[in-house]
Structure 1
């Protein structure tokens, strides 16, 4: 499957026109998510997860979108899992089903929820800063994680010039304290938008609340 992140006009029919263009190159749309409304300029940012039949070149997806007036492709990559609101709800359901493991479950679900590649729980509450939990494909942090602490609220992070991280875009949110944080990363992009930062902030706060009921 492939992930397309598009800027489209925020008006009726725009998304349908894009879907029609993708259909003309035999793309099978699996999910569409409105990531952000940009009311100041009348556009929206949408993520579209699509698949292609054998023999169809992926470049045709970009060409199809670019053929639609006023549509801009800002990110295109292979993508291995679905995401979006239904993943938010699935994460919440899992956390409420196992309150004692709510934070661990959020770390595990973080990449799918945010269309990302990896997630890690950084713990600096003790003498040393350490990775308490990580998903597969999480890069080595070395000493750079200490620079992210303390973290008072959810925000994007500047990627340090460190092997495995320099090409990543990062977002993080505090959990039980400002020295225990969830970091989620995408290799290469796209950048995390304000709406995605807000979603992570909400889910992190919810995980802490659910964990407290255990």
Structure 2
């Protein structure tokens, strides 16, 4: 079973190796490690691992408690494919067909940050329940936003973790949702915001060139 583990550990030499050794003794295959944060003597890392069977979150926490100073912040199933570069793939596809920049963005966004679905809605939304303009294959037609969406990238916790990324000068806002797991980390938000900004710039450039008669071949 492919699982994503978010682990807080001491930011010192050898701590990451200790976690890896414990996971190894449990028969866990580590596919990828992503450093999300390093401050005040601690680090927050996301591990994408193949775990034997179907473990419960409490079991994962108990097994890793053998490492001093380690805290498992969360564990949830993931469909991410370690070893690939979905961010590069996104930009390549947008460059190839900039007219479909935003549908391509919402299709790619869940794979970029370990989410379950994504959509764009009109920004600012007229109501808490906004109709999706573009949506990934499993996104709802009506996107519910429990809180007002600010004019800057933001994350929301609660029962359904969500991030919002307004797409500047497009009248759209990207919504990304993780139905199972922890709230999005600020590093995940920063990554999504930067990629969305590039995609929006590419779409605007393509639109200007098309209107000027320089159609992409």
TM-score by length of 2: 0.80
Determine whether 1:58 maps to 2:55.
yes
In 1, the alpha carbon distance for the partners of 2:187 and 2:37 equals: 6
Higher-Rg structure is 2
Tell me what 2:16 maps to: 15
Write out per-residue CA displacement over residues 116-172 of structure 1, whole angstroms, 9 at most, x where no aligned residue.
111111124798842112123324646x449645x421111466xxxxxxx201111
Tell me what 2:37 maps to: 36
Q: Aligned match of 2:199 in 202, 207, 210?
A: 207
Unaligned runs of 5+ in 2: 207-217
CA contact (8 A) 1:122 1:180 kept: yes
Per-residue deviation, 1:2: 0.8
In 1, the alpha carbon distance for the partners of 2:201 and 2:93 equals: 14
CA contact (8 A) 1:176 1:208 kept: yes
TM-score by length of 1: 0.81
Determine whether 1:104 maps to 2:103.
yes
CA RMSD of aligned residues (A): 2.7
In 2, the alpha carbon distance for the partners of 1:91 and 1:26 equals: 34
CA contact (8 A) 1:31 1:82 kept: no
